Amino acid sequence: MSEIVYVGLGSNLNAPEKQVSQALTALANLPNTGLVDSSSLYLSKPLGPQDQDDYINAVAKLSTELQPLELLDQLQKIENKQGRIRKEERWGARTLDLDLLLFGNRVIQNERLTVPHYDMRNRCFVLIPLSEISQHIELPDGSQLNTLIAKINQQGIQRL
Ligand code: ROI
């Protein structure tokens, strides 16, 4: 059975627009997985330390037959190929971040993976690109994307 999955992309190092575009191509080429849709690229102010460059963010919608941890392995492979260094400071600059946001309607909680993404409800650079591609998403707990967006500060993000 295939599931609909949303992945958040973010970069603020080494030509961020190129990193995100290249990652979208890599997602489209994943095994047993299709890229259904992707958002525009967005320019966003850093969440976390402010002494780092602005980010390029986007969200991709996939249809996959992979299991969650298999998909996570694939995402980490793409991050590593594009020069991600795992030791990078928490909340610091990064070459490429691929976050598993939603996996069908599943709630997943284990050592490697928390789905829905633990902080997606508070992140305009996740919610706004997500709503560009799928307006009427409901999270597993029944909360509506539109309601979440109405609650967050939408400044500091610009569609490119
Ligand atoms: N800030 C923005 N704007 N975009 C991101 O993708 C992003 N990713 C992160 C932290 C460091 C939390 N800040 C971010 O991991």
Among candidate residues 123, 121, 124, the one with its CA nearest the CA of residue 138 = 121
pTM attached to this predicted model: 0.96
Phi-psi region of 72 (alpha: psi -120 to 50; beta: other; left: phi over 0): alpha
Helix (H) or strand (E) holding 102: strand 97-103
Q: If you average pLDDT over residues 73-100, what whole number do you get?
A: 86
Domain locations in the chain as residue ranges: 3-159
**Rg (Cα) of the chain, in Å, rounded?**
15
Cβ–Cβ under 8 Å, residues 54 and 45: yes
Q: Which of 56, 57, 86, 100 to mutate to test the pocket of ligand 1 (most atoms within 8 A of CB)?
A: 57
CA of 156 to the centre of ligand 1 (A): 12
Q: Residue type at 28?
A: A
The domain 3-159 is placed in CATH, from the list 1.10.3720.10, 3.30.70.560, 3.40.50.300, 3.30.1490.70, at 3.30.70.560
Distance in Å, CA 43 to ligand 1 centroid: 11
Q: Of 106, 94, 159, nearest to 131 (Cα)?
A: 159
Confidence of residue 109 (pLDDT cuts 50, 70, 90): very high
Q: How far is the CA of 72 from the centre of ligand 1 (A)?
A: 19
- Nearest ligand 1 atom to alpha carbon 92: 11
> Average pLDDT, stretch 98-115?
97
116 and 101 in contact (C-beta within 8 Å)? yes
Q: Output the six-digit token pair for 141.
A: 């707990």
Q: What's the confidence (pLDDT) of residue 155? A: 87
Question: Mean pLDDT of all residues in the chain?
Answer: 95
Write down the pLDDT at residue 21. Answer: 97
**What pLDDT was estimated at residue 90?**
75
C-beta of residue 157 within 8 angstroms of C-beta of residue 44: yes
Indicate if ligand 1 lies below 6 Å from the C-beta of 103: no
Q: pLDDT (tens digit, 9 = 90+) per residue, 23-65?
A: 999 999 999 999 999 999 999 999 999 999 999 999 999 999 9
Contact 104, 4 (CB under 8 A): yes
Residues known to be catalytic: 84, 94, 97, 99
Mean pLDDT of 10-15: 94
Query: What confidence tier does 140 reach under pLDDT thresholds 50, 70, 90?
Result: very high
